[in-house]
Amino acid sequence: MEGALRFLFFGDLVGKPGRMLFAKWAPRLKEKYKAAAVIVNGENSGDMGRGINPITAKFLFESGADVITTGNHIWAYQNVFNYLDEEPKILRPENFPSSCPGHGHTTFIVDGHTVAIVNLQGQVFMRDCLECPFKTAETTISYLKNKTNIIFVDFHAEATSEKQGLGFFLDGKVSAVLGTHSHVQTADERILPAGTAYISDLGFAGSRNSMLGMEKEGIIRKLMTTLPSKFKVEFKGPFAITGVCVEVDTSSGKANSIERFFVVDDEMEVSK
């Protein structure tokens, strides 16, 4: 469509399987949807299934990511601290304390158009000591509106109600509000009344027969006994990678469409 751009958004990548899925499928899906840019949540892409480090981030950039968003596991690797200050295209939530390393929003040029990405974290069932994501969004978006109308928000949050609340709060002010964190893709993608694309959760990339990309046995044991249990990344296939394609009007910044994708890969093998 003339005057429109398409963007691909991928849910949380989990460990090495998530990285391998992204490297394999991001270029294919970018070509399929004729997308201009790719944004991925990489906060669980480290080898242990949580956190991200400079080597992992560079791999994702080389595999096609234009911007990497994160969330509550961003501090799992200490060697990412300085990297967050050095690399503007990897974000930590904007509503973390300002004294934290890194930044919570970025802009980049796509086909001559300035595009902004904002990363936020929820408070409900998560850390309530963070700044209010609603107020932080309002301030940040007011600043970004002087630069562009094409603004996307990755809202890394637990509660669907909080995600929906932010979606309606920002309806008409941003191009899309896209939930991450639960690793379970929701089927509520839609265009809100004032033109903002919305989905409660993009999903994840990892083993289908896992719990959030991790081996299920240890998690079930903890649920049954309450005893500590080490969570390990699941390396057995089949695998899946999920997300959405959002098309926006480059003039107004409003969304024309949002489409879910759910790709099952039963051929890929990942070594530990």
Contact 268, 20 (CB under 8 A): yes
CB atoms within 10 A of CB 70: 30
> Angle 133-144/160-169 helices, nearest 10 degrees?
30
E-strand ranges in the chain read: 4-10, 12-13, 37-41, 67-69, 105-110, 113-121, 150-156, 176-180, 190-191, 197-199, 204-207, 239-249, 255-265
Residue in 73, 113, 156, 181 annotated catalytic: 73
Q: Rg (Cα) of the chain, in Å, rounded?
A: 17
Contact 40, 13 (CB under 8 A): yes
> Strands 12-13 and 204-207: what pairing?
parallel
Alpha helices in the chain (DSSP H): 15-33, 54-62, 81-86, 133-144, 160-169, 216-225
Residue 156 is among the residues annotated as catalytic for this protein = no
Fill in the amino acid letter for 13: L
CA angle 58, 63, 67 (to 5 degrees): 65
> Angle 15-33/54-62 helices, nearest 10 degrees?
20
CB atoms within 10 A of CB 192: 18
**Residues known to be catalytic:** 73
